[in-house]
Structure 1
Amino acid sequence: MERNEINEIDVGAGDERGQRIDPERRRGRAAISNRASRYDLQRVEENDGWDMAEERAVFRTSVALEEPRSVISRNTSPDLPFDRSVNPYRGCEHGCIYCFARPTHSYLGYSAGLDFETRLVAKPNAPEVLARELRRKGYRVAPIALGTNTDPYQPLERDHEIMRQVLQVLRDFRHPVQITTKGTLIERDLDILSEMADLGLVQVGVSVTTLDNRLSRLMEPRVPMPSRRLATMRKLSEAGVPVRLMMSPVVPSITDHEVEAIVGASAEAGAQAMNWIMLRLPLEVSELFQEWLESHFPDRAARVMARVREMHGGQDYDAQFGRRMRGEGHYAEMIAHRVKLAQRRFGLARDMPRMRCDLFAPPLGTAQQPSLFD
């Protein structure tokens, strides 16, 4: 991941590197603390006795602008059904405590805790750079994934509209795209999505972790309520856009009892297929998640982590391909079996139909390729 010059706007209170933050200062956020980036070479923690009397500012969202030279990221993971992705934003105001992408914020020198939810980075030139990359002579078309790291329809998109412009580029190039989101703002782009769906160029995965509004607010504080996401599934489906349920993650002893209910509600809302992932706790996510557990579910925190470690050979996380997404052992096998039965019961497929790649054609009318009709 290449980091270029970042121009900061309204940095605010996100630079604190304390331990647990006062609840009033982090209201509406999921992370309990804002520990230093693992790449910080110098960490200074000092208490002079005055901090107890000082009124500290709340953690407000700030935005930095980045102008990358490339936006298509490549991967060779056998666990993923795509080999390329685009992320218009870094960090995510949705603030899901379980988000496996939190550690990527450390590459910027930020914390994977509250910084990840409040110090965001937007890439306003992403559509322009994407178009340039798609025009390269050696480019070979395959579906591009959007929403693989942070949500392209998080609240920030309402003002910046980078995702909409990226979609316009992909539509103009007749390029297939897979989108994953929790954001109902995707409904704004139904005009583009339905046009692409008619050509077999788009699929959307809507993430539903729980149907419990209170639990959702605790785990994913700035995400639309579960019922609202199901309504988005229905609107996409009615517009002809193929929709997949993304049940991710399944959290042991917290959401695992909802597997069948989530699958059934999503099928009723128009989902054609589904995928699921077990809770993943890489790097800083483990400590942040355990702080959250102890704060909100102290009665079952030990049980949750025991299940997690049972699936990963006694560790909080196992990064090995083939194991990191689902885990191993009796509990993991039991959840996989329940998911399979629920899929069969509610008629959801495992895989979506293949998208078309044969329609790809860079549009005419650019300085590099003038239109005959200009």
Structure 2
Amino acid sequence: MNPKSTIKGRGAQLNLPNRFFELSHEMRNDFLEYCHKEGETRDTNKTTYLEVFPKSIVNKVQSPDVGMGYSLNAYQGCEHGCIYCYARNTHEFWGYSPGLDFERRILVKKDAPKLLEAKLKSKNWKAQPIVMSGNTDCYQPAEKIYKITRACLEVFLKYKHPVGIITKNALVLRDLDLLKALAQDQLVSVNISVTSLSENTRRILEPRTTTSKKRLETIQVLSTNRIPVNVMLAPIIPSINSHEILPMAKAVSEAGALSIGHTIVRLNGAIGEIFTDWVNKTMPDRADKVLHQIESCHGGTLNDSRFGARMRGEGKIAEQINNLVKLAKLKYFKDKAPQKLNCNLHQPCKNGQLKLF
């Protein structure tokens, strides 16, 4: 990879036009030449935080193969910049590009804790696990500023309601006090995403995420404090991290993880073009190999949207990956199991306190 040819600290290397817009913005060569001659910066590459005001915050998940019934996303867009992220396409519904805009224009939902509390107090709501980060990471850099995730955890604790967390950021340890309190009643589980043990691979795949070493330390700290931790080895990308399945499984098991899950990368919507541009710029020596092997897992295309097949893939390479994960579970998680969340304590707490009669 030539660092000078890439945008520093970002995953996507281009801003695709929004598919819903008739007009698009183009960076022309004559403009770039003008910037060069005048000594001006063509792009500041800064992150912008924009406040939005949704009417609700808990979303029912319709997809039958993602393992969650309800999700909560305090932020739209994600500064982590993971090049493969399936959530990039959702940024187009907000009027932005799934490319660089997804990483640099972060939409902030400050009212999330208030909306969550209203939902949990609703007479019609029956406790079911709500997963924070079903779309974008609730512990991305914006959380250091706004602390919306922490405020939501306080609401979950107040109403004794089960919550799942998906993250790849060690910032989750900031809220260890709340997580320990929730764990006492089996009200929380943390799912850490681990994509590679190689720092070089992690850095180009997920440029603004916590290091691989720090993620293992995070799993260990959570586990030591009796907070159940599960790990997603996701996504598995042929010829990039597929050879790391067994080492990753061994490492996270030794750190204290109770289980592992996995997905095979699928490049849905605009992500196919974003990923193709990225892999040709960062891994030109094996770009064609990576893309062809991904296609071999999805019937000759970069994406298969069929429920049941899209996460696991098909074909010889997908079969090898899935079998390796099965072996990893037998070898390193034989006597372990994920903890089921407790949904029985919430009902008496609808009004913020236990009913006496």
- Same fold, TM exceeding 0.5? yes
Query: For residue 33 of structure 1, what is the aligned residue in structure 2?
Result: 14
Superimposed CA distance per residue, residues 297-355 of structure 1 (whole angstroms, 9 cap, x where no aligned partner): 11211111111111111111010100111101111111111111111111257852221
SS in 2 for 1:52: helix
SS in 2 for 1:53: helix
Q: 1:1-374, aligned counterparts within 5 Å?
A: 26-43=7-24, 45=26, 47=28, 49-54=30-35, 55=40, 56-347=42-333, 352-361=338-347, 363=349
Alignment check: 8 A CA contact 1:32 1:292 kept: yes
The 1:364–1:49 alpha-carbon spacing in structure 2 relative to 1, beyond 3 Å, is: closer
Deviation at 1:231, TM superposition (A): 0.3
The 1:50–1:341 alpha-carbon spacing in structure 2 relative to 1, beyond 3 Å, is: closer
SS in 1 for 2:34: coil
Return the alpha-carbon distance in structure 1 between the equivalents of residues 315 and 6 of structure 2: 40
Alignment check: 8 A CA contact 1:277 1:325 kept: yes
Deviation at 1:371, TM superposition (A): 10
Q: What TM-score, normalized by structure 2, do the two folds share?
A: 0.93
Unpaired runs of at least 5, structure 1: 1-21
Moved more, 221-230 or 73-82: 73-82
Alignment check: 8 A CA contact 1:273 1:352 kept: yes
Alignment check: 8 A CA contact 1:143 1:178 kept: yes
Return the alpha-carbon distance in structure 1 between the equivalents of residues 218 and 193 of structure 2: 11
Return the alpha-carbon distance in structure 2 between the equivalents of residues 370 and 191 of structure 1: 22
SS in 2 for 1:112: coil
Deviation at 1:45, TM superposition (A): 3.8
Structure with a larger share of its residues in helix: 2
Superimposed CA distance per residue, residues 267-314 of structure 1 (whole angstroms, 9 cap, x where no aligned partner): 111101111111120111111111111011112111111111111111
**Matched residue type, 1:131:** E
The 1:349–1:111 alpha-carbon spacing in structure 2 relative to 1, beyond 3 Å, is: farther
The 1:149–1:362 alpha-carbon spacing in structure 2 relative to 1, beyond 3 Å, is: farther
Return the alpha-carbon distance in structure 1 between the equivalents of residues 340 and 163 of structure 2: 11
The 1:176–1:348 alpha-carbon spacing in structure 2 relative to 1, beyond 3 Å, is: farther
The 1:257–1:69 alpha-carbon spacing in structure 2 relative to 1, beyond 3 Å, is: same
Return the alpha-carbon distance in structure 2 between the equivalents of residues 44 and 223 of structure 1: 29
Deviation at 1:110, TM superposition (A): 0.6
Alignment check: 8 A CA contact 1:194 1:241 kept: yes
**Matched residue type, 2:18:** S
Superimposed CA distance per residue, residues 8-53 of structure 1 (whole angstroms, 9 cap, x where no aligned partner): xxxxxxxxxxxxxx95783111111011111112225474824312
Return the alpha-carbon distance in structure 2 between the equivalents of residues 220 and 264 of structure 1: 22
Superimposed CA distance per residue, residues 175-218 of structure 1 (whole angstroms, 9 cap, x where no aligned partner): 11111100101001111111111101111111110011111111
Moved more, 22-31 or 305-314: 22-31
In the TM superposition, structure 1's runs of 4+ consecutive aligned residues that sit over 6 Å from their partners are 369-372
Deviation at 1:58, TM superposition (A): 2.1
The 1:128–1:327 alpha-carbon spacing in structure 2 relative to 1, beyond 3 Å, is: same
Using CA pairs under 8 Å that are at least 6 residues apart, name the structure with larger relative contact order, 1 or 2.
2
Moved more, 287-296 or 33-42: 33-42
Aligned-residue identity in percent: 39
Return the alpha-carbon distance in structure 1 between the equivalents of residues 56 and 319 of structure 2: 40
The 1:169–1:45 alpha-carbon spacing in structure 2 relative to 1, beyond 3 Å, is: same
Superimposed CA distance per residue, residues 243-287 of structure 1 (whole angstroms, 9 cap, x where no aligned partner): 011100001001001000100000111101111111120111111
**Structural RMSD (CA):** 2.1
